[in-house]
Amino acid sequence: METLLTPRLRLRPPRDEDAEALSAGSNRLDVARWLIRVPHPNPPEAVRVFLARIRAASARVHVVDDGAPRGLVGLDPELGYWIAPEAQGLGYATEAAAAVVAEAFARGAETLAAGHLVGNHRSARVLSRLGFRETGRGRVAVASTGEEAEQVEMALARAAFAAAAPGLPLTPAARSGIAAP
């Protein structure tokens, strides 16, 4: 997996030394409650196990890095992301997700899937800005709370992303890969 560059971020493969920062960023319930797979608490050792699992599976999951690890973004197989509280509100989720989506379309993907829990308005805005549209709803188990929650299921076609791309923070190289390969 290669490192992706955005106007402000480096999206790079995860390393074991990221575990402390990723644990700190995801260990707050106000972050973890919106993430299906992240437990609460999420100690560094659990993060190390997760990072080893995604490396072994060759999952396309990147660390969002602005000089320090600020979260994760990837396709595993759906688009997913989270940003640590101290870096929220800066547009990092949109910027990182746009780069991952552009790269997936450049590799030949035609449609991508994503979702967000009902009530997660920030994630809904990110996905909408990328061009995702609701395709249905379902119930999912949330690891941090141990409860089920309603999830909005979404899809993004290449053409919808191309239409959204002019308003997204993409590098010229990322923009060039959006058209059909």
What is the reported pLDDT for 180?
Answer: 52
> What's the rounded Cα separation, in Å, for the pair 27 and 41?
6
**Model-level pTM?**
0.95
For the domain with range 4-169, which CATH number is right: 1.20.1080.10, 1.20.140.10, 3.40.630.30, 3.40.190.10? 3.40.630.30
Distance (Å, whole) CA 102 – CA 124: 19
Query: Residues 149-160: pLDDT tens digits?
Result: 999 999 999 999
For the cut 70, the answer to whether the pLDDT of residue 179 exceeds it is no
Could you tell me which residues are beta bridge partners of residue 136? 153
The answer to whether the beta carbons of residues 9 and 94 sit under 8 Å apart is no
C-alpha to C-alpha distances, 155 to 46, 47, 122, 127, 140, nearest whole angstrom: 30, 28, 17, 9, 17
pLDDT in tens, 53-80: 999 999 999 999 999 999 999 998 999 9
pLDDT in tens, 162-174: 999 999 999 988 8
Confidence of residue 1 (pLDDT cuts 50, 70, 90): confident
Taking residues 120-128, what's their average pLDDT?
Answer: 98
For residue 38, the Cα-to-chain-centroid distance in whole angstroms is 13
8 A C-beta contact, residue 73 and residue 64: yes
- Beta-sheet strand order (sheet of 79-83): 4-5, 10-12, 60-65, 69-75, 79-83, 111-117, 147-157, 133-142
Q: Please report, for the chain, the start and end positions of each structural domain, with discontinuous segments joined by +.
A: 4-169
Per-residue model confidence as pLDDT tens digits over 75-115:
989 999 999 999 999 999 999 999 999 999 999 999 999 99
Residue 75 in contact with residue 150, Cβ under 8 Å? no
